[in-house]
């Protein structure tokens, strides 16, 4: 599948409202036609198609090169749309929806047959969220259908946090891009399975475990999040994601990184280091990228993917990264870094 032209609709804050509305309507029309459109959310850019149209959903997988057994998240603009997608909404899910929607929390529930088979990879559950982004919500309302949307990047690459990232990866592979500038959170939504009696966390993200447990009590954690030797409960979590082109290694003791850099340089490799503002002057590498402040992990999450893409832009071949505390937002950051590194930690 290829497109002679990928439309780019720039809907920044300086655009007149009527022009912005017209662009959103045009993008929504492509979704209604069964095509695939990239659009912004508060986490990362999504690649959306009508979640009730099997042929449209398959175009997402084709454009991304995404494995067919990796389920998609369905995005909705109104909580009432859940009635078209799921069999029931348990009380625990209702509490979470009231607290965190719209926002970066995805909830898994038992699905209805109307949901396209490819969305759920044949499972009897569907993942749903309501994004907290004005452009996304307007697009979803205008389209009038639930929209299945994974991140708008080539499968396995860092997720896109601005329209340029999407254009780089998917130009000619999708119908259009609704570009509203940079995203806010920077990492994907938290995924919580509420289809059984006790909620299970499959993916840490923009809503922390601590915030969830403050509302519904203790939740189970997918064992694979604690140990790479455990098989993930969700099929989509078994794949390597977010990886730069160069080899990435996470280093527990950052004082070892200078020695590792010297070894890589002696082999003629172009080196890179992923660090923070507090430590960026400590390293002598070809490419040193600060992804935020260690003292404020929300800034790290916000810049994480664009930092990983920076190494590709600078053609770094061997990359070493500091690690971060595995608590609150740090859990999501480390989850993404471990997947980007393919579990390579020293």
Give binding residues as ranges.
43, 66, 70, 75, 125, 129, 149, 151, 159, 189, 203, 242
Residue 162 has, within 13 A of its CA and on its CB side, a CA count of: 10
Residue list, annotated binding site for L-threonine:
43, 75, 129, 149, 189
In the block, tokens 């254009």 appear at 167
Q: What are the tokens at 198?
A: 């006790």
Other beta carbons less than 10 A from residue 296's beta carbon? 13
d(CA 194, CA 212): 12
Other beta carbons less than 10 A from residue 97's beta carbon? 20
Q: Is 66 left (phi over 0), alpha (psi -120 to 50) or beta?
A: beta
Name the phi and psi angles at 141, rounded to 5. -65, -40
Expressed in angstroms, the distance from the first to the final Cα of the chain is: 41
Q: Which residues sit opposite 192 in a β-bridge?
A: 107, 201
Residue list, annotated binding site for ATP:
66, 70, 125, 151, 159, 203, 242
Distances in whole angstroms, Cα of residue 104 to Cα of each of 35, 195, 221, 249: 25, 18, 18, 28
């Amino acid at each position: 599948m290829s497109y002679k032209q990928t439309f780019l609709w720039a809907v920044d804050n300086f655009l007149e409202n009527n022009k912005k509305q017209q662009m959103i309507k045009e993008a929504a029309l492509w979704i209604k036609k069964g095509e695939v459109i990239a659009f912004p959310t508060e986490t990362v850019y999504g690649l959306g198609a009508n979640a009730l149209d099997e042929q449209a959903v398959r175009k997402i997988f084709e454009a991304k090169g995404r494995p067919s057994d990796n389920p998609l998240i369905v995005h909705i603009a109104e909580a009432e749309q859940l009635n078209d997608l799921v069999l029931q909404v348990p009380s625990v899910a209702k509490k979470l929806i009231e607290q965190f929607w719209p926002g970066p929390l995805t909830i898994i529930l038992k699905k209805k047959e109307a949901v396209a088979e490819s969305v759920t990879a044949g499972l009897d559950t569907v993942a749903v969220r309501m994004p907290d982004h004005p452009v996304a919500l307007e697009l979803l309302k205008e389209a009038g259908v639930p929209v299945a949307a994974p991140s708008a990047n080539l499968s396995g690459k860092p997720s896109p946090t601005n329209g340029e990232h999407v254009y780089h990866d998917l130009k000619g592979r999708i119908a259009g891009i609704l570009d509203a500038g940079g995203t806010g959170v920077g990492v994907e939504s938290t995924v919580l399975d509420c289809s059984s009696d006790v909620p299970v966390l499959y993916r840490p993200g923009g809503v922390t475990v601590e915030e969830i447990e403050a509302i519904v009590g203790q939740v189970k954690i997918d064992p694979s999040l604690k140990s790479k030797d455990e098989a993930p409960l969700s099929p989509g979590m078994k794949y390597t994601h977010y990886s730069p082109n160069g080899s990435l290694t996470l280093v527990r003791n950052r004082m070892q990184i200078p020695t590792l850099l010297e070894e890589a340089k002696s082999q003629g490799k172009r080196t890179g280091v992923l660090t923070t503002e507090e430590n960026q002057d400590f390293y002598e590498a070809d490419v040193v990228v600060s992804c935020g402040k260690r003292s404020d992990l929300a800034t790290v999450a916000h810049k994480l993917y664009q930092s990983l893409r920076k190494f590709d832009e600078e053609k770094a071949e061997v990359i070493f990264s500091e690690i971060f505390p595995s608590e609150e937002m740090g859990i999501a950051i480390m989850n993404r870094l471990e997947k980007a590194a393919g579990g390579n930690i020293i």
